[in-house]
């Protein structure tokens, strides 16, 4: 747990490295510690004005929930046929569902770095290979640091080695409760949510930003009692927990081929039990917010860092490719009750790094320059429908890859010179499963996207060279064992 005195010391160190800091007038020293939020007015298009909200008598509560390793199609509101997520689905029905939200990577560290800094992985620096990891660059402010300086209590509840203080994820938090999430000792979603609810209840009349990271759907697949085989059809053998080795034992052709379809379906069913349990706990969070009288003035965001592959491209788990089963994530936003959205479903392509700017926009705060994303509010309010280009990078293992995703076309570049398939192009409208490589058939499209990708990548690389060099983390033996048990070290 990180106390406020230590947090202030770390923030001062970051400001000194930057040669100063922003001149903010934080109300944290005021006895009531309440923030009076002003009317937010945006100038859009040719100067048209759009007010998102009215003057609030009390501050909004902001709750950001990230459920690790959640495929978009594992949620009912995104088409899963067995209704495994009724509580998230209810939030989507009440709020806004984003149909095409794209992460910046297919594994946790770079994706979460983009979420909290609003920067591309090359810029925030938090990437790595297996146990060779780097933390986020400290000169980049995080969403928690920004909101803390504006008078918000900042409360973090995270699980897993890749969302830990050693990588900088505690920066800006008054309270940061973290568990490394060892395979056999995971802090389940119910315990995490109870801790978050308790912290909110103690500060219910104040301005709060609450970050909640749930790890349950990640390997090992180990749903709690009542959820173990809830989604398995007429099959109970190979009972959970299912670890990496258990699942690899199901593969065919000496580990080179996928399991038979019945085994794949069973593994997915166990995974689905984990998601169902996490959804139940999100439902409990909503219930508690209503009991405290906070729900109507809460901005509640539910998303994921990345998805999971179940052999769609002859592989399993995540961190090794940039296909859509890993990078196309769920994103649901429930607005405060005094804001009426114009759209309930947004088809426009958006990015994970658009989330923090949306929070700033809604709270009437200026978006820091380092946050590359853009607010989603113009899309929500029907004032824009422009797609946003998605750049994706970083693999945890295997060869390094980059991807450039438009709404229709996607280009994937393998940076290894001797890889078997160095470039891939997919028409996502005609081929959403990314099975038909069109590089030879659509050379002009491939050339255009390659040029855009390389130019953007080179711009980021050039900018990153002007920034600090993140120190490589010296992983302790217990963390290394943790990563081995989770399948990250191969």
Query: Per residue in 374-403, pLDDT tens?
Result: 999 999 999 988 889 999 999 998 899 999
In the predicted structure, residue 37 carries a pLDDT above the cut 90: no
In the predicted structure, residue 34 carries a pLDDT above the cut 50: no
In the predicted structure, residue 4 carries a pLDDT above the cut 80: no
Which residue ranges make up each domain of the chain?
4-8+58-388
Q: Are 301 and 63 in contact (CB under 8 A)?
A: yes
**25 vs 347 pLDDT, higher one:** 347
Query: Per residue in 144-172, pLDDT tens?
Result: 999 999 999 999 999 988 999 999 999 99
In the predicted structure, residue 22 carries a pLDDT above the cut 50: no
Query: Per residue in 216-232, pLDDT tens?
Result: 999 999 999 999 989 99
Mean pLDDT of the chain: 87
CB atoms inside a 10 Å sphere around CB 476: 13
In the predicted structure, residue 300 carries a pLDDT above the cut 60: yes
Q: What percent of the chain has pLDDT over 90?
A: 74
In the predicted structure, residue 405 carries a pLDDT above the cut 70: yes
Question: Crossing angle of helices 86-94/261-291, nearest 10°?
Answer: 60
Query: Per residue in 408-455, pLDDT tens?
Result: 999 999 999 788 889 999 999 999 999 999 999 999 999 999 999 999
In the CATH scheme, what is the homologous superfamily, with its name and number, of domain 4-8+58-388?
A: Alkaline Phosphatase, subunit A (3.40.720.10)
């Amino acid at each position: 747990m990180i106390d406020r005195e230590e947090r202030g010391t770390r923030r001062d160190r970051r400001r000194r490295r930057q040669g100063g800091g922003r001149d903010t007038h934080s109300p944290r020293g005021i006895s009531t510690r309440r923030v009076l939020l002003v009317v937010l007015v945006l100038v859009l298009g040719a100067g048209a004005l759009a007010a998102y909200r009215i003057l609030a008598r009390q501050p909004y509560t902001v709750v950001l929930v990230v459920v690790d390793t959640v495929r978009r199609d594992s949620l009912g509101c995104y088409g899963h046929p067995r209704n495994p997520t009724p509580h998230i689905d209810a939030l989507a029905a009440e709020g806004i569902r984003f149909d095409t939200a794209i992460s910046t990577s297919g594994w946790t560290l770079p994706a979460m770095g983009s979420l909290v800094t609003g920067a591309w992985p090359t810029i925030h620096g938090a990437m790595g290979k297996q146990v060779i990891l780097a933390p986020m660059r400290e000169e980049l402010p995080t969403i928690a640091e920004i909101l803390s300086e504006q008078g918000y209590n900042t409360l973090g509840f995270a699980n897993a080695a890749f969302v830990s203080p050693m990588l900088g994820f505690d920066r800006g938090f008054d309270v940061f409760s973290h568990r490394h999430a060892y395979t056999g000792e995971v802090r389940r979603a119910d315990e995490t949510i109870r801790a978050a609810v308790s912290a909110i209840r103690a500060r219910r009349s104040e301005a709060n930003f609450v970050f909640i990271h749930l790890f349950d759907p990640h390997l090992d697949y180990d749903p709690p009692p009542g959820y173990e085989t809830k989604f398995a059809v007429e099959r109970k053998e190979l009972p959970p927990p299912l670890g990496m080795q258990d699942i690899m034992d199901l593969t065919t052709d000496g580990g080179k081929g996928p399991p038979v379809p019945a085994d794949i379906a069973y593994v997915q069913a166990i995974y689905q039990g984990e998601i169902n349990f996490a959804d139940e706990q999100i439902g409990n969070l909503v219930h508690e917010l209503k009991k405290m009288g906070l729900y109507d003035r809460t901005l509640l965001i539910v998303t994921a860092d990345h998805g999971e592959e179940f052999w769609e491209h002859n592989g399993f788990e995540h961190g090794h490719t940039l296909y859509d089963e890993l990078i196309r994530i769920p994103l649901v936003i429930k607005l405060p009750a005094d804001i009426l959205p114009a759209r309930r479903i947004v088809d426009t392509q958006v990015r994970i790094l658009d989330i923090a700017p949306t929070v700033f926009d809604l709270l009437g705060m200026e978006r820091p320059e380092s946050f590359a994303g853009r607010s989603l509010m113009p899309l929500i309010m029907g004032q824009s429908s422009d797609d946003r280009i998605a750049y994706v990078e970083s693999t945890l293992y295997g060869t390094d890859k980059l991807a450039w995703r438009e709404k229709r076309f996607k280009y994937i570049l393998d940076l290894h010179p001797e890889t078997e398939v160095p470039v891939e192009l997919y028409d996502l409208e005609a081929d959403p499963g990314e099975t038909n490589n069109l590089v030879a058939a659509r050379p002009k499209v491939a050339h255009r996207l390659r040029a855009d990708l390389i130019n953007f990548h080179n711009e980021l690389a050039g900018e990153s060279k002007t920034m600090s060099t993140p120190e490589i983390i010296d992983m302790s033996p217990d963390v290394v064992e943790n990563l081995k048990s989770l399948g990250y070290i191969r």
